Structure 1
Amino acid sequence: MKKEIAVIGLGRFGGSIVMELHDMDVDVLVIDSDENRVNEYQEFSTEGIIGDSTDEAMLKKIGIDNYDNVIVAIGDNIQASILTTLILKDLGVKKVTSKAQTAHHGRVLEKIGADSVIHPERDMGRRVAHRLVSSSVVEYLEVSHNHSIIEFSANQKFENKQISDLTLREKFGISIIAIKRDHDIIVSPDANTTILDGDILILIGTDEQLGLFEDKMDRLK
């Protein structure tokens, strides 16, 4: 059975989610107060609604509570974002994912019941910063308040060594949870796995632990 997802707010962020979901063959309902935006994403959605997402009666009428996930991607009106999130939870929507503009906005969304809060601008800033500071970091993802995952391009000091020889857990407290090799992914590699030229190591640890690791690797270049 196909997943059904609704996206409220069709700015750049909301619009990009709609197109990605369409490519993943997900049924998408789009809602925006701007008719032009709804028309723009018509070909990527199964249904488009022109309306005010703070109108509880309208949301109830279209059966918003039947959707597996509702994305509140409103970017220019914090009050509407908060009120929409609150109404969706009151209507019994299974999962509400809301976009936050600021840290304070995010805390409010969490307090009123958003199941997931995303900070796209902040997260993108952090990802870019990590790439700028460490040329070996090819990707960065925050997974909790103080834990993150990085994709690290193995340098010559890693090549042809087994994971056990690297002693990353002992030295830094971080773990290799997967290895990207060509077009394959080695999940939960064992200690005897040998690192090869071109491998991308997927590492998890606290922000402090990963920071120390990145600093050490940059100094060794």
Structure 2
Amino acid sequence: MKQFAIIGLGSFGLRMLEELYEITQEIIIIDKDKEIIEKYKDKAQAAYVADAINEKALSKLIPEEIDAVIVDLGGKIEVSIMVTNYLKKIGIKNILVKAQTDEHGEVLSMVGATQVIFPDREAAKRITPMLASSLLFNFMPISENLALAEVQANDYCLGKTLIEANLRQEFGLNVVAMRKVLHDDFLFINDPTYIFLEEDILLVAGTEDGINKFSSRSNIKEKQAIGDLFRSFFPKR
């Protein structure tokens, strides 16, 4: 089973602890705040009250063969850089560090971080497309050229079969799976003659631009609502 360490239980560190705890208990947590360690020690295999800036302490608490170390030291930019460098010296192969700015991220990469995380920026990337479209239920960037999204079937594909809609040609999207509005379980669409319904939520993969273009199409209810509003302002005489 894989083993992880989290240095600093800030908002990102705590979130990582919650997620990792779902898959393993092989977790080491380190923070200089005794109350925080006491509060979350039951979710870790080992919990230590220690100052991460102490290189000797880190080398004793974190085994060299550990699978990954996550560093979240809040706004302490200089400290996070020093700790990242210490971890590299220890021989840690996978070091994920929360960064505050692009410049901070560049320095972290230079001193040993294998992955730099910008939680606020990444959260904004996921939330913004959903605010822009009422048909977009979830959005997850995978890379610069690929994203996954949950999009409700709209007027472009309603009443069409999977083949007729041809989302790959029109929007550069691949339909990975589908679920119904009131259900959480996704099902693969194995039948190319399946006809899209209004309650269908499609899990699609493609570029951010393609997802935005497809999700910006109005659905029937939205068009009806706009039409009703227009008629309320300009009733027939």
- TM-score range normalised by the length of the shorter chain: 0.7 to 0.9
The higher radius of gyration belongs to: 2
Q: 1:162-214 CA deviation, whole Å, 9 max, x = no partner?
A: 22221222112222223235343335856444434533212222222323323
- CA drift at 1:112: 3.5
- Cα 1:197–1:207 change in 2 (3 A) is closer
How many residues of Structure 1 are paired with residues of Structure 2 in the alignment?
220
Could you tell me whether the CA contact under 8 Å between 2:152 and 2:198 is conserved in 1? Answer: no
Q: Secondary structure at the match of 1:186?
A: coil
What letter matches 2:208 in structure 1? D
Residues 136-155 of structure 1 correspond to what in structure 2 (within 5 A)?
Answer: 136-155=135-154
Structure 2 equivalent of residue 213 of structure 1: 214
What letter matches 2:135 in structure 1? S
Question: What TM-score do the two structures reach when normalised by structure 2?
Answer: 0.80
Unpaired stretches in structure 1, ≥5 consecutive residues: none
- Cα 1:94–1:212 change in 2 (3 A) is same
Structure 2 equivalent of residue 90 of structure 1: 89
Could you tell me whether the CA contact under 8 Å between 1:175 and 1:205 is conserved in 2? Answer: yes
Q: 1:18-54 CA deviation, whole Å, 9 max, x = no partner?
A: 1332233432110112222211211221211112223
- CA drift at 1:143: 1.1
CA distance in 2, matches of 1:107, 1:203: 33
Residues 53-92 of structure 1 correspond to what in structure 2 (within 5 A)?
Answer: 53-92=52-91
Q: 1:131-167 CA deviation, whole Å, 9 max, x = no partner?
A: 2110111111111134322211224653453222212
CA distance in 2, matches of 1:139, 1:123: 13
CA distance in 1, matches of 2:187, 2:168: 19
CA distance in 1, matches of 2:199, 2:111: 46
Question: What TM-score do the two structures reach when normalised by structure 1?
Answer: 0.85
Residues 129-140 of structure 1 correspond to what in structure 2 (within 5 A)?
Answer: 129-140=128-139
Q: Secondary structure at the match of 1:52?
A: coil
Unpaired stretches in structure 2, ≥5 consecutive residues: 224-237
Residues 161-176 of structure 1 correspond to what in structure 2 (within 5 A)?
Answer: 161-176=160-175
Q: Secondary structure at the match of 2:104?
A: helix
Does residue 1:15 correspond to 2:14, yes or no?
Answer: yes
